[in-house]
Amino acid sequence: MSSLANAPMILVVDDSRVMRQALNKILGNRYPVVEAEDGEAAWVLLESEPAVACVFTDLSMPRLDGYGLLKRIRESQIARVSGLPVVVVTGNEDDVGTLQRIRECGANELLKKPFRGEEVLRITDQLLKARLAAVSSTAHAPGARDELNALREQLAQALAQTASALKDREQLEIDRDQLEKDLKQLRTELMLRQQTSDEREVQVRLKQLEQTLKTVRATESRLSSQLEKEQARNNELDARIHGLNRDLEQALTELNQTRERAASAERTCTELQARASDRDAANMDARIKAAELARLQAEDELLGVSGRLEEAESALAKARDEANSARAEVNRLRAAARERENQLEDHCQQLEKRLSQLLEQSAEASLREESNEPEPVVPEIPVMGGASPKPEEDAPRSERQHKGSESVVRWELERSRVRRRRLWLIGVTGVVLTIGLAFWLGTVLG
């Protein structure tokens, strides 16, 4: 922040925190940036902060939008505020209409979302240079020229500091990459020095086992999701089948009621025809026609109910077919899961056999190393006159050598014992995890 103290300040006005942070990230390396959430807050900053040299504003904002802020800036009685360059940031697709309107309101540039950092910096540098040139051409007082020169010096210092900061950042990135490479190489060398061939092979096998477990978990997750989808689909089909059964029962009930109404109409027609001889012929004809009309309406209703019944039966058959296909798919997924579980068990058994072989090989190698280790020999030094050295003089030295060899042997035995115990624990842990995963898969899929 101290390196940008003399640079011109930029005001970013937008109700979106994301857009404000994006512009701050682009401009913050070269200029000091202040932010405002709407036009009212921006106007307060413009009146209280004389260092603001450029404004980036959005159009759609609460309280005071971008057009209102532009109008206040251009109509301000403060020359410093009314002459500020203003860049409108908008995502409106109507570029021609939006550009014409903001030009009428007094904006200098239009920046369309999404924008690029190079474009933002180019527009900012261009507007600030134009403002410096305008201030230089309109400066009449002696203090104005001094202020212009100070602004030019501040701009040059800001540009130089920005270039230096960029170079430093690039150098730091290069140094960081080199350090990461060196650290990675040192770690690799250290691991290679600390591991024996048997331990590396066991670790490779363990990594393969972990990769197999990851693959099995991914397959399990995929099969579980597919099984859940098929079960949901099966439940939906069952619900549809129940609904179609209810509709079918309702249609059968309506059909029976319609048949009863038709039979009643036919009986009424028969009764009216039987009574035709006892009543007036004109009234009987009207009643017969009404009964015939009722019978025809009942037949039409019967036909409609029959059509709906056929549709319900076809929909029911289709739903049953879909349910059967869903059940077949669920059975296929369960069979695939069982097959995958069997494959996993076979693979785990193979890994267990290989791990036991590696443990036996490691134990045999340790025993061979212990049996082939040369015992310390104390050379005999001849004495003048053919006399042999005294045992009590050489006893302390031989005891020290014997004790040293015993400590070395004990240390080697302890080291091999710890290594075998560690390998055994790793193998047992892998087997237990594999068996638990297989049992859980069987429980979920069963």
Confidence check: pLDDT of 5 > 70? no
Confidence check: pLDDT of 381 > 70? no
Cβ contact 33:27 at 8 Å: yes
Question: Residue 160 — pLDDT band, cuts 50, 70, 90?
Answer: low
Backbone angles phi, psi at 177, to 5 degrees: -60, -40
β 109-112/52-58 pair status: unpaired
Sign of CA dihedral 221, 224, 228, 230: positive
Q: What is the pLDDT of residues 12-31, one digit of tens each?
A: 999 999 999 999 999 998 89
C-alpha closest to that of 328 among 218, 237, 439: 237
More confident residue, 335 or 189: 335
**Confidence (pLDDT) at 57:** 93
Half-sphere exposure of 320 (CA within 13 A, CB side): 8
**What is the Cα–Cα distance from 54 to 35, expressed in whole angstroms?**
12
**Confidence (pLDDT) at 313:** 84
DSSP percent split of the chain into helix, strand, coil, nearest 5 = 80, 5, 15
Question: Residue 38 — pLDDT band, cuts 50, 70, 90?
Answer: very high
Task: Count other C-beta atoms under 10 Å from residue 193's C-beta.
Answer: 7
**DSSP annotation string for 199-256:** HHHHHHHHHHHHHHHHHHHHHHHHHHHHHHHHHHHHHHHHHHHHHHHHHHHHHHHHHH
Confidence check: pLDDT of 386 > 60? no
> Rounded to whole angstroms, what are the CA distances from 103 to 106, 110, 256?
5, 9, 78
Task: Count other C-beta atoms under 10 Å from residue 351's C-beta.
Answer: 19
The secondary structure of residue 275, as a DSSP letter, is: G
Backbone angles phi, psi at 381, to 5 degrees: -105, 120
pLDDT average, residue stretch 333-353: 82
Asked if the bond preceding 114 is cis, omega within 30° of 0, the reply is: yes
**Confidence (pLDDT) at 99:** 78
Sign of CA dihedral 271, 275, 279, 283: positive
Confidence check: pLDDT of 224 > 80? no
pLDDT average, residue stretch 233-262: 78
Stretch (H or E) spanning 411: helix 391-445
- For 354, the token pair is 């290989």
Please give the model's pTM, rounded to 2 decimal places: 0.34
Q: What is the pLDDT of residues 263-317, one digit of tens each?
A: 887 888 788 777 766 666 677 778 888 888 888 988 888 888 788 888 878 887 8
- For 20, the token pair is 């404000």
**Between the ranges 65-69, 103-107, 143-147, where is the mean pLDDT highest?**
65-69
Domains of the chain from N-terminus onward? 2-172 (3.40.50.2300), 199-372+396-445 (1.10.287)
Q: What is the identity of the amino acid at 213?
A: L
